[in-house]
A and B are shown apart, each in its own frame.
Chain A
Amino acid sequence: MTSRIPLSDLLTHRDGENMDPRLSAEIEADPESRVRLRALREIKHALMELPGVEPADDIWRDIDGSLAGSVNLARQRQSKPSYPWANVATAATVFFAAALGILWWNPGDGGVAGLPTAPLADLVLRSQQLESQVFYPQAGRGAAAAQYAWNSSQQALLYRIADVDSELNSDYEDRLPSALERERLWRQRVQLLESLVEVQRRQKPASRTALY
């Protein structure tokens, strides 16, 4: 019985990084290794064949427009929401889906099998509603998220929300948090979002610079 040639050896052979004649002979003598080697070559070829991707038209317009208008590009870019927040609404939607899925799936910790516990479900829904208010102030969730130049208090709140999300998320990766812990985190998330909505409400419309 022949031992299987490790994948790493086949890869180094494929890429010409190890031209050990003994390895070549071993591969040549083993039909399975030849098939695996061919598969490795096919995958590499497929990867190399992948086409370029055209970025959206407005990317160049943003760069070019800024240069043409002699606007300090670096300064203008700083006024954009830092990238986590530009994507926060999308990610939060994903996060909610995951969170609700886990709540639904986990019958433990005093919950009714198959259903999220009432306070938790309420907190999740409240959190979702508040998030809609923050990121979709004019329209429903189907609309593109509004992008504002966040002020420092808003940014601080957003970072704290991200911390809570991170805590919830890392817990989900390692172990399911207790119902009590989940509730505490979701409550905290709701409170932070309420503060964010309040700050946003007080902000004069003129100072909420729409970027797009």
Chain B
Amino acid sequence: MARFADLQLDSGVARGLKRGDRRAQAIAYRTLAPAVMGMAMRILQDKGIAEEVVQDTFVELIEKAGTLKNPDAVLGWVRKVAVNHCLMRLRTPWHKRRVTVELVEDVDVTNGSDRLEGLQDIERALGSLVAETRMVIWLHDVEGYTHKEIGALLGRTASYSKSQLARGYQKLMLLYGGLRDDVEDSTIRSAHTS
């Protein structure tokens, strides 16, 4: 899973991070890096830049872990730092003017071809959205941010976040496999007749 909410970091590891213990740093990296990378890949749609986000996030974690007041808050702290690094990159003129996106590759999915197809569909659909909309959808739906939090993060309002979510879903509904209008229509027709 790519969600931070599904992860757990042993409190001993968190305390080790605070002490600067290298083994704890390696464990924290192994545990958290796939989530950071997953989020950055989905938001930024670029493997190289997503890896930069991973590197910057963990460098910051290692350098600043000693100042953490509450070691149990490491997970939330890492997520916040990673989100900020993603946002920073989205705001660069370089990223803004990118004309194409590189779709996610090397995603490790092991549960059968049907699931793989479904996940690839949603990856592709997500990748087709505007970067900021992708970010709103990911933070809201996957990471559980509120619209107020997202609005604040983007320097906008909660309403803006809501409208981005709706706009993104409008497109996702059309793109995501099995959810196209014709499928909807036939389902609606069958619902009417039953």
- The reply to whether B33 and A48 form a contact with Cβ atoms under 8 Å apart is no
Secondary structure class of chain B's binding surface, majority of residues: helix
Name the A residues within 8 Å of B59 (CB-CB). Answer: 63, 73-74, 77
Interface size class of B (residues with CB under 8 A): 35 or more
In the complex, A139 has a CB within 8 A of chain B: no
Name the B residues within 8 Å of A205 (CB-CB). Answer: none
Query: Which stretch in B9-17, B72-80, B164-172 binds the other chain?
Result: B164-172
In the complex, A143 has a CB within 8 A of chain B: no
CB contact list, A130-187 vs B, under 8 A: 162, 165-166, 169-170, 172
User: CA A132 – CA B167 in complex, angstroms?
Assistant: 40
Name the B residues within 8 Å of A98 (CB-CB). Answer: 99-100
Secondary structure class of chain A's binding surface, majority of residues: helix
- The reply to whether A63 and B29 form a contact with Cβ atoms under 8 Å apart is yes
Pick the residue among A32, A51, A170 that contacts B1 (CB under 8 A). A51
In the complex, B153 has a CB within 8 A of chain A: no
In the complex, B131 has a CB within 8 A of chain A: no
- The reply to whether A54 and B48 form a contact with Cβ atoms under 8 Å apart is no
* A 1-36 to B, binary, CB cutoff 8 A, 1 in contact else 0: 000001110011001010000000000000110111
CB contact list, B5-57 vs A, under 8 A: 22, 25-26, 29, 33-38, 41-42, 46, 48-52, 54-55
In angstroms, how far is the closest chain B Cβ from the Cβ of A38? 9
In angstroms, how far is the closest chain B Cβ from the Cβ of A2? 12
- The reply to whether B55 and A52 form a contact with Cβ atoms under 8 Å apart is no
- The reply to whether A84 and B138 form a contact with Cβ atoms under 8 Å apart is no
- The reply to whether A42 and B37 form a contact with Cβ atoms under 8 Å apart is no
- The reply to whether A83 and B122 form a contact with Cβ atoms under 8 Å apart is no
- The reply to whether A54 and B33 form a contact with Cβ atoms under 8 Å apart is yes
Q: A54-B33, A83-B52, A169-B99 are in contact. Are A36 and B63 (CB under 8 A)?
A: no
Can you report 11 residue pairs joining A to B where beta carbons are below 8 Å apart?
A: A43-B122, A49-B115, A50-B42, A50-B142, A52-B1, A52-B34, A54-B106, A55-B33, A64-B25, A84-B94, A90-B48
Residues of B within 8 A of A (CB): 1-3, 22, 25-26, 29, 33-38, 41-42, 46, 48-52, 54-55, 58-59, 62-63, 89, 92-94, 97-100, 104, 106-109, 115, 118-119, 121-123, 126, 137-138, 140-142, 147, 162-163, 165-166, 169-170, 172-173, 176, 179, 184, 187-188, 191-192
Residues of A within 8 A of B (CB): 6-8, 11-12, 15, 17, 31-32, 34-36, 39-40, 42-44, 46-56, 59-60, 62-64, 67-68, 73-74, 77, 83-84, 86-87, 90-91, 94-95, 98, 162, 165-166, 169-170, 172
